[in-house]
Amino acid sequence: MARRLYVDGPFGQIHLRMAGEHSDPRPPLICFHMSPMSSRIYERFVTRMGAGRRAIAIDTPGFGMSDAPPGPPEIADYSRAMLAAIDALGIAGPVDLMGYHTGSMIAADLAAGWPDRVRRLVIVATPIFTEAEREAMRAHYGPTPPRRDGSHLVERWNSFVHHNLGRGLSLDDVADMFPERLLGRADGWWGHRAAFAFAPDMRLPEVAQPVLVLNPNDDLQVETRRAAPLIRNGRILEVPGWGHGFLDGFTDDAARLVESFLDAADPFAALAVPDSSQRA
């Protein structure tokens, strides 16, 4: 199982999950979650990846068990905090990154801003929005005040079930994941706010490192395909058999695919694309 620990960051303590040996010669894999979730989405995956390398999943400040910033942050603030966590762990050499939705933006920002610190990237979806879509998203994903009858929680639960049930996950799995959706507390909308204020091209044209983009059957399929002309050195891999929760539902398959990209001399030469990812 992954160990859980805290390190110090620019906004207080940062909580993370880690598996694998410090002495492993492979670059560590650092994982960033979607908003408003936590590193819990990577727990099984990090444990599995830890058999072959050091793998770490970090709670974004203000989510999971990480301390929150004093005010609404930008993606650059999250990136700075992630880099501080990597430094606090004593990792000096280049790392590999994996990001999921908002975490994809953090990974791309880190790779573009600190190219000497990042070797390769795996990105789950690339939220490339039009300006009209960004405006609509800002309006939809703003703060949600609590209601005495708890209906705000029912709405979150219904949305969570809609996006996560199936494609490898049972209702019990979804219920086990759901509490992580609430750990952003009243400021859980900050992650979405940062995402919709980030560079419209996600800084992808500035990323020279190899990038594998996974496009699962979720709510960002169309937006992810828009990234194709922006990627300098990468590939978008359609994985229609996977959706939200695939790191829990198809842990071994996801790990083998990511390993095939990270471990090969030519990252795109021999991708181990599993059958489960192609069953639409």
Q: How far apart are CA 19 and CA 11, in angstroms?
A: 24
Domain hosting 92: range is: 3-278
CATH number at residue 95: 3.40.50.1820
Q: Can you read off the two tokens belonging to residue 43?
A: 């727990």
pLDDT tens series, the chain, 280 aa: 899 999 999 999 999 999 998 777 899 999 999 999 999 999 999 999 999 899 999 999 999 999 999 999 999 999 999 999 999 999 988 999 999 999 999 999 999 999 999 999 999 999 999 999 999 988 888 888 999 999 999 999 999 998 888 878 899 999 999 999 999 989 999 999 999 999 999 999 999 999 999 999 999 999 999 999 999 999 999 999 999 999 999 999 999 999 999 999 999 999 999 999 998 6
Note the pLDDT of residue 211: 98
Note the pLDDT of residue 139: 87
Reply yes or no: is the peptide bond before residue 36 cis, omega within 30 of 0: yes
Q: DSSP assignment of 104-137, as one string?
A: HHHHHHHHHH-GGGEEEEEEE------HHHHHHH
Note the pLDDT of residue 169: 85
**200-259 residue pLDDT tens:** 999 999 999 999 999 999 999 999 999 999 999 999 999 999 999 999 999 999 999 999
- Would you give the distance in Å from CA 112 to the centre of its chain? 17
DSSP-based three-state secondary structure for 96: strand
Note the pLDDT of residue 202: 97
Note the pLDDT of residue 92: 87
Sign of CA dihedral 129, 135, 136, 140: positive
Counted domains in the chain: 1
Neighbours of 64 (CB within 10 A): 23
Which pTM value belongs to this model? 0.95
